[in-house]
Amino acid sequence: MIHLTDEERRDPLKVWMAGVIEGAFWVILIATICLAIVLVFGHERTNLWVALLATGGWLAWYWRAHRNRPISPEEERSRRESRARVLEQDRER
């Protein structure tokens, strides 16, 4: 979800922080969806485990549907330029 350039991927702190931010995002998303399911259907009919299973199923479907999304020409160009900059910096060293 958080896209780092090749240059940023070399910094362990930036990679770690991106992982923490992304992990927090997913935890908050799952908790929010579970709470919404329980509130909509009522806590008498839906317990938290059912809501968690429903949320997990939805997220698994969403991840499978979007993990292989096509890359836009702008994003591809940006990646190529980033790689070229990093290679140029490596040559200078």
Query: pLDDT tens digits, residue range 40-69?
Result: 877 776 677 777 777 888 787 777 776 666
Q: Is position 53 within any domain?
A: yes
Segment 29-50 mean pLDDT: 77
Q: Is position 84 within any domain?
A: yes
Whole-number average pLDDT of the chain: 80
DSSP-based helix, strand, coil % in the chain, nearest 5? 80, 0, 20
The amino acid occupying position 11 is D
Q: Cα dist. 74→1, 12, 71 in Å?
A: 17, 27, 8
Q: Is position 15 within any domain?
A: yes
Q: Is position 48 within any domain?
A: yes
Q: Is position 64 within any domain?
A: yes
Domain count, the chain: 1
Which pLDDT band, with edges at 50, 70 and 90, does 73 fall under? confident
Q: Is position 65 within any domain?
A: yes
Q: What backbone torsions phi and psi does residue 37 show, to the nearest 5 degrees?
A: -65, -45
Q: How far apart are CA 85 and CA 39, in angstroms?
A: 51
**What pTM does this model have?**
0.50
User: The domain containing residue 40 runs over which residues?
Assistant: 6-92
- Which helix (H) or strand (E) element contains residue 15? helix 12-41
Q: Is position 1 within any domain?
A: no
